[in-house]
Amino acid sequence: MLVIADTGERVIPELMKSTNTMLLEHTARYYFSTPYVSGRVLDMACGAGFGTHMVAKLCMKHMEGIVGADRDPEIIEYARATYYHPSSSFVTIDVMDQDIVSKLGLFDTILSFETIEHVEDDRLFIQQLYSLLKPGGFLVISTPFGKGRGVPCGQPFHYHQLSREEFESSFTMFQEVEMYYQRGVTIEPPRRDVYYPIGVAVCKK
């Protein structure tokens, strides 16, 4: 097995207990996304690739294939070695690459979980994902809530964490947007007097 030098916030099931909260939350997001998966699929910031592999297995009958993309060549090497599936492939690319559309092409579904807090310009990040979607395609995206854009959040791998209001207002370019909220493994529409630390948006282009 390849050894990852810096796991940081990486979700690597082989190095985690099955009860690890981060692992359970990530798994829940991938399961949540499966009804929206069709056609050609992109898992942006796929990390170790376990979620890409999960979607490949669960959705192989109604998708053309899934591409797991990450800017870290070491983690992509790990994903290729650990999570092979005939319906999936892995590529090294930065989501902020100005030529990303010509390099990757267009997709019917894009998944990007816990990524937006890792980029400095969240608005450009959303625009990049939008440009990769075919008309009518779906983006399923999540992020932890925090004190807001540009405010240090105390997480060494995060530029900042958007407030709930900032996240909800990030998708005005899309035709349709549905907001969900995550508490542990539960992802649901908001209920009164329940604190949700994570937001999940389902956006149709």
DSSP letters for 11-74: --GGGS-TT-HHHHHHHHHHHHHGGG--EEEEEET-TTSHHHHHHHHHHGGGEEEEEEEES-HH
Averaged pLDDT of the chain: 92
Domain annotation for the chain: domains and CATH numbers? 17-204 (3.40.50.150)
At residue 144, the pLDDT reads: 94
At residue 1, the pLDDT reads: 45
Mean pLDDT of 86-102: 97
Quote the percentage of the chain above a pLDDT of 90.
Answer: 81
At residue 4, the pLDDT reads: 44
Between 21-33 and 50-59, two packed helices, what is the crossing angle to 10 degrees? 30
> How far apart (Å, rounded) are the C-alpha atoms in residues 177 and 203?
4
pLDDT tens-digit map of 163-196: 999 999 999 999 999 999 999 999 999 999 999 9
- Please give the structure tokens belonging to residue 69: 């993309």
Residue with the larger pLDDT of the pair 74 and 159? 74
